[in-house]
Amino acid sequence: MASLANIRAAVALNLATIPGWQISAYQLSNATLPSLQVMGLDDIQYDRAMGRGVDDWSISIMAFAGITTDIGAQKLLDGLIDDDVVKTAVESDKTLGGAAFDVHVTECSGYRAYVLGTNQVIGCEWKVRVMAAGI
């Protein structure tokens, strides 16, 4: 059976190939920017194949680049999106080190303002679909 802790750790390990970003398998309250964080579970769809053999996990990855008015922060996000950097990194090991059968980054949000600690920062979010063992 897959565990959320193993999936988080494996996604963070794949993201660690992106230079210049703080990477965390968990949401941080006081991150060093720029930061990529595995925010955790959005939902699980059980019993997708072979009875309890495959579950479909949906998780989110957030990028926080800098304060909302910082042009440099926007350029950092542009770089992640223009070259599919996050998608390529997450999908570089489709089995997430054995924690999953398959992984796909399915979408990226547009830029939004978020509150991180006491700062308003600019960031975006990726949705990730993980097919993993249900039992």
Digit-coded pLDDT (tens) for 40-52: 899 998 887 777 7
CATH number of the domain where residue 27 is located: 3.30.70.1700
Q: Match 């479909």 to its residue by tokens.
A: 56
Q: State yes or no: pLDDT of 30 exceeds 90.
A: no
Residues facing 40 on adjacent strands: 60
The pLDDT of 85-96, averaged and rounded, is 97
Range of the domain at 38: 4-133
Task: Read off the pLDDT band of 1 (50, 70, 90).
Answer: low
Strands (E), the chain: 22-24, 35-49, 54-67, 102-108, 112-116, 119-133
Please state the domain count of the chain: 1
CB atoms within 10 A of CB 32: 10
The rounded distance, in Å, linking the Cα atoms of 100 and 121 is 32
pLDDT of the residue at 29: 84
The pLDDT of 22-46, averaged and rounded, is 94
Q: What percent of the chain has pLDDT over 70?
A: 99
Task: Read off the pLDDT band of 87 (50, 70, 90).
Answer: very high
φ, ψ for residue 83 (rounded to 5)? -105, 15
The rounded distance, in Å, linking the Cα atoms of 114 and 30 is 13
